[in-house]
C-alpha cells in the first residue's frame, strides 16, 4: 500500500539591471505572459553549447577553439534570452558583475600554461543561500536583499581555486522552504516564482529550484544546490538532472545560510554523472570552520574519473524500497523499467523495505526547528547581516507582509522561535532518535540485512502544478531516509510522465559516494534517459 505523504516527503517542498536582478512580479502564479511565451522547439538546439559537458568544453579550450571569456559571455546571453525573456524561467536571481573578469583571468592562466583542473574556466551558478562575493546572499528574503558578505563560503573558495567562473546566484524557495508549511516551491519574495523548463506551469520543486531549472535549461554548465531533506534531489529529479547529496561532513557548510547542522549539505547539480562528480571532487574536504568535516578525513576523493565505470552495475546488489512506490502509476512504470535496466547491466535487484520507514519524521521536524534558530542566528551575527535574530526576521516579515507573505505565512519560523536552546532534553532526544531510526536501524540495517551496495527508489513524483493558494501538491518521494541519516544519495534521470522528468535515487551508507557514482554512471550509460527541456506552456497529451 502506498504510504501517505509525511514530513520527510513534504520537506523537499517545505525545505523543500544586470547584476542585482529584480523579479518581474511578487506573485508566484504562472502568469499568462510567461506561460504563453514558450520557446520554439528549435531554440534549445540553436544554442551553441546546448547540453555541453565539462570534458568537451575543456577539450575545446585546450585546443584553442574556445576560451572561457567567450563561453561565459554565451551563458550570460543565454540567461538574457531564456531567463529574462522567452519563457522567463526566473531561475537566476543575480549575476556576478565580475564574471567576465574571472573568465579573463582563467584564460590568462591557460595561456601561461596553468590549468587548475577540470573546472578551469567553467561557468557555474550558485544557490542564493551561499556566500559569494561581491554578490548578495539573501535566501530569497527581502530582509537580506542588501546583505553582501565580506568573504566567500569555503566551498566557493574551493571552486575558485579549482578555476571555476561564478556566473551568479539562483533563486530558491525562500529560506530553503523552512518558513511555512504551506509554501510554494521556487518562490521567494526577492526572486519571484521560478518555473520548470519542461512545463512552465509546473513546479521546479525545491528548495534548490533555480539551480535545477537553470542547469536543465543550459543557463550554465553546472550548479550548486543545498539540501536538508530533498532540496537537491527533488529539483534535480523534476529537471532531468543528476543531483548528488553528499554525506554530511564531506562538504563544508561554512558561509551557507543554515537550517540544520545535523542534515545540511551542499552538493552538485548537473546534466551528467561525470560533471556532478567533477564538482563534488572540487568542493569536498576538511574545513576548520565546520567541525563536521573533520570526519571526512580519509574519505575525500579528489578525482572520481576512476569511478566512472560503464560496468559499475555488474555484480552489484541493489535493494528496491517498494514501500516508497505506489503513489503514481507512471512513476511505478518508470521504476520497473529502471530495475530491468539495472538487471540487464548485471546487477542483482531484490526487494528491501526499511523496517523503520518514516518513524523518524516527527523527531526530525523537532530537530530542524531547534537547529534552525540556533544556526540561523549564528550565521546572521557572524556575517554582519542587517537582522541578526529569528525574532527580528519574523517581525520584518510582519511589517512587510504584503510583499513577504502574499500567499503563505511563517508558521515554522514562529514554532522555531518558541523553542529553547540546544541543551533542551527534547532536542537531544529527538536528534538521537532521528539519526538512529534513519541510520543504524533504517538504511544501514537494510543494507546489511540484504548485503546491498545501495538502496533505490523513485526520487519523487512528476512536477505538480504551481499553486500559490494551497501550496505544493506533493505526492511522494524516496530520499528521506538518506537525508535524515546524513548519508549520501544520487538521483539520475530514469524516464518521464507526459514529458515531465522522473528520477531514480541511489542511497548508500556514509562515505559511499565513490560506489554510488559507479552505480549511477553505469545506469546513466545504460539508459541515457535525460532529454532536454522544450519550454512547453503546459503538459500536452
Which residues, including other chains, have CB under 8 Å from residue 357's CB and lie 6 or more apart? 3, 321, 323, 324, 442, 481
pLDDT at 18: 37
Max CA pair span of the chain: 62
pLDDT at 110: 98
pLDDT at 43: 52
d(CA 174, CA 232): 15
**What is the per-residue DSSP string for 250-295?**
SB--TTB--S-TTT-EEEEEESSHHHHHHHHHHHBS-BTTBGGGGG
Helix (H, G, I), strand (E, B) or coil at 210: helix
pLDDT at 21: 61
Helix (H, G, I), strand (E, B) or coil at 372: helix
- Give the Å distances, CA to CA, from 1 to 196, 319, 462: 30, 18, 19
The one-digit pLDDT tens for each residue of the chain (541 residues) are 333 333 443 344 344 333 446 544 434 333 333 333 334 444 555 899 999 999 999 999 999 999 999 999 999 999 999 999 999 999 999 999 999 999 999 999 999 999 999 999 999 999 999 999 999 999 999 999 999 999 999 999 999 999 999 999 999 999 999 999 999 999 999 999 999 999 999 999 999 999 999 999 999 999 999 999 999 999 999 999 999 999 999 999 999 999 999 999 999 999 999 999 999 999 999 999 999 999 999 999 999 999 999 999 999 999 999 999 999 999 999 999 999 999 999 999 999 999 999 999 999 999 999 999 999 999 999 999 999 999 999 999 999 999 999 999 999 999 999 999 999 999 999 999 999 999 999 999 999 999 999 999 999 999 999 999 999 998 999 999 999 999 999 999 999 999 999 999 999 999 999 999 999 999 999 999 999 999 999 998 8
Which residues, including other chains, have CB under 8 Å from residue 488's CB and lie 6 or more apart? 244, 245, 246, 247, 250, 482, 507, 508, 510, 511, 512, 513, 516
- Give the Å distances, CA to CA, from 169 to 79, 94, 103, 140, 165: 12, 5, 17, 10, 12
Residue carrying the nine cell digits 535515487: 505
pLDDT at 3: 34
Give the residue from 148, 121, 118, 119 showing the smallest Cα distance to 132: 148
Cβ–Cβ under 8 Å, residues 218 and 445: no
| C-alpha cell, 408 | 503563505
Q: Torsions phi, psi of 460, nearest 5? A: -170, 180
- Give the Å distances, CA to CA, from 379 to 289, 395, 452: 12, 18, 39
**HEC-encoded secondary structure of 86-147:** CCCCCCEEEECCCHHHHHHHHHHHHHCCCCCCCCCCCEEEEECCECCCCCCCCCCCHHHCCC
Give the residue from 187, 243, 185, 186 showing the smallest Cα distance to 505: 243
Helix (H, G, I), strand (E, B) or coil at 46: helix
Say how many Å lie between the first and final Cα of the chain, rounded: 28
Cβ–Cβ under 8 Å, residues 339 and 345: no
- Give the Å distances, CA to CA, from 31 to 27, 202, 433: 9, 12, 44
Q: How many CB atoms sit inside 10 A of residue 59's CB?
A: 12
Give the residue from 186, 29, 35, 125 showing the smallest Cα distance to 535: 35
Q: Is the peptide bond preceding residue 44 cis, with omega within 30 degrees of 0? A: no
pLDDT at 425: 98
d(CA 253, CA 239): 25
d(CA 299, CA 515): 12
Helix (H, G, I), strand (E, B) or coil at 159: helix
Number of residues assigned to the chain:
541
| C-alpha cell, 187 | 518562490
Annotated active-site positions, please?
127, 207, 231
Give the residue from 287, 305, 283 showing the smallest Cα distance to 295: 287
Q: How many CB atoms sit inside 10 A of residue 247's CB?
A: 24
Domains of the chain: 7-20+38-527 (3.90.1300.10)
The pairing of beta strand 265-270 with beta strand 317-320 = unpaired
Dihedral (Cα; 262, 268, 272, 278), 10-degree rounding: -110
Q: Is the dihedral of CA 305, 308, 311, 314 positive or negative?
A: positive
pLDDT at 474: 87
Cβ–Cβ under 8 Å, residues 212 and 241: yes
186 alpha-carbon distance from chain centroid: 12
Which residues, including other chains, have CB under 8 Å from residue 490's CB and lie 6 or more apart? 242, 243, 244, 245, 273, 276, 505, 506, 516, 517, 519, 520
Number of helices (H), then strands (E), belonging to the chain: the values are 19, 13
pLDDT at 45: 54
Which residues, including other chains, have CB under 8 Å from residue 60's CB and lie 6 or more apart? 66
Cβ–Cβ under 8 Å, residues 348 and 317: yes
d(CA 521, CA 342): 11
Q: How many CB atoms sit inside 10 A of residue 12's CB?
A: 34
Amino acid at each position: 500500500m502506498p504510504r501517505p505523504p509525511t514530513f520527510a516527503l513534504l520537506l523537499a517542498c517545505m525545505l523543500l539591471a544586470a547584476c542585482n536582478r529584480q523579479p518581474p512580479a511578487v506573485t508566484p502564479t504562472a502568469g499568462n505572459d510567461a506561460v504563453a511565451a514558450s520557446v520554439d522547439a528549435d531554440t534549445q538546439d540553436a544554442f551553441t553549447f546546448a547540453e555541453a559537458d565539462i570534458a568537451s568544453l575543456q577539450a575545446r579550450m585546450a585546443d584553442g577553439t574556445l576560451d572561457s571569456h567567450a563561453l561565459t559571455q554565451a551563458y550570460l546571453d543565454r540567461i538574457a534570452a531564456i531567463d529574462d525573456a522567452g519563457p522567463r524561467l526566473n531561475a537566476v536571481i543575480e549575476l556576478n558583475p565580475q564574471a567576465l573578469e574571472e573568465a579573463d583571468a582563467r584564460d590568462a592562466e591557460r595561456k601561461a600554461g596553468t590549468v587548475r583542473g577540470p573546472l578551469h574556466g567553467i561557468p557555474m551558478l550558485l544557490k542564493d543561500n551561499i556566500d559569494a562575493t561581491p554578490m548578495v546572499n539573501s535566501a530569497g528574503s527581502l530582509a537580506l536583499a542588501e546583505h553582501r558578505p565580506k568573504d566567500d563560503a569555503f566551498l566557493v573558495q574551493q571552486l575558485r581555486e579549482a578555476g571555476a567562473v561564478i556566473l551568479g546566484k539562483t533563486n530558491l524557495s525562500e529560506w530553503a522552504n523552512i518558513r511555512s508549511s504551506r509554501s510554494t516551491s521556487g518562490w521567494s519574495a526577492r526572486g519571484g516564482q521560478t518555473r520548470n523548463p519542461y512545463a512552465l506551469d509546473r513546479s521546479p520543486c525545491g528548495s534548490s529550484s533555480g539551480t535545477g531549472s537553470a542547469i536543465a535549461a543550459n543557463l550554465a554548465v553546472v550548479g550548486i544546490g543545498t539540501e536538508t531533506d530533498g532540496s537537491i534531489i527533488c529539483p534535480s529529479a523534476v529537471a532531468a538532472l543528476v543531483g548528488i547529496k553528499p554525506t554530511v561532513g564531506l562538504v563544508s557548510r561554512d558561509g551557507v545560510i543554515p537550517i540544520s547542522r545535523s542534515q545540511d549539505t551542499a552538493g552538485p547539480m548537473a546534466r551528467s554523472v561525470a560533471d556532478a562528480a567533477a564538482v563534488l571532487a572540487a568542493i569536498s574536504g576538511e574545513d576548520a570552520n565546520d567541525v563536521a568535516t573533520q570526519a571526512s578525513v580519509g574519505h575525500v576523493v579528489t578525482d572520481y574519473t576512476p569511478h566512472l565505470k560503464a560496468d559499475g552495475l555488474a555484480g552489484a546488489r541493489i535493494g528496491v524500497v517498494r514501500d516508497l512506490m505506489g503513489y503514481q502509476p507512471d512513476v511505478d512504470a518508470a521504476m520497473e523499467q529502471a530495475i530491468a535496466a539495472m538487471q540487464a547491466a548485471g546487477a542483482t535487484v531484490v526487494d528491501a523495505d526499511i523496517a523503520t520507514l518514516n518513524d523518524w519524521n516527527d523527531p526530525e521536524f523537532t530537530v530542524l526547528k531547534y537547529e534552525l534558530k540556533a544556526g540561523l542566528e549564528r550565521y546572521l551575527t557572524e556575517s554582519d547581516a542587517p537582522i541578526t535574530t529569528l525574532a527580528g526576521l519574523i517581525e520584518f516579515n510582519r511589517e512587510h507582509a504584503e510583499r513577504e507573505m502574499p500567499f503563505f505565512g511563517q508558521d515554522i519560523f514562529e514554532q522555531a522561535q518558541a523553542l529553547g536552546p540546544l541543551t533542551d532534553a527534547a532536542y537531544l532526544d529527538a536528534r538521537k532518535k532521528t539519526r538512529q531510526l534513519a541510520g543504524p536501524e533504517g538504511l544501514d540495517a537494510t543494507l546489511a540485512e540484504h548485503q546491498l551496495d545501495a538502496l533505490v527508489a523513485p526520487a519523487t513524483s512528476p512536477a505538480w502544478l504551481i499553486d500559490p493558494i494551497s501550496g505544493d501538491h506533493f505526492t511522494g518521494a524516496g530520499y528521506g531516509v538518506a537525508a535524515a541519516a546524513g548519508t549520501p544519495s544520487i538521483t539520475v534521470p530514469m524516464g518521464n510522465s507526459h514529458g515531465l522528468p522522473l528520477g531514480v535515487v541511489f542511497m548508500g551508507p556514509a562515505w559511499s559516494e565513490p560506489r554510488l557514482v559507479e552505480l549511477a554512471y553505469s545506469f546513466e550509460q545504460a539508459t541515457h534517459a535525460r532529454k532536454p527541456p522544450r519550454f512547453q506552456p503546459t503538459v500536452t497529451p
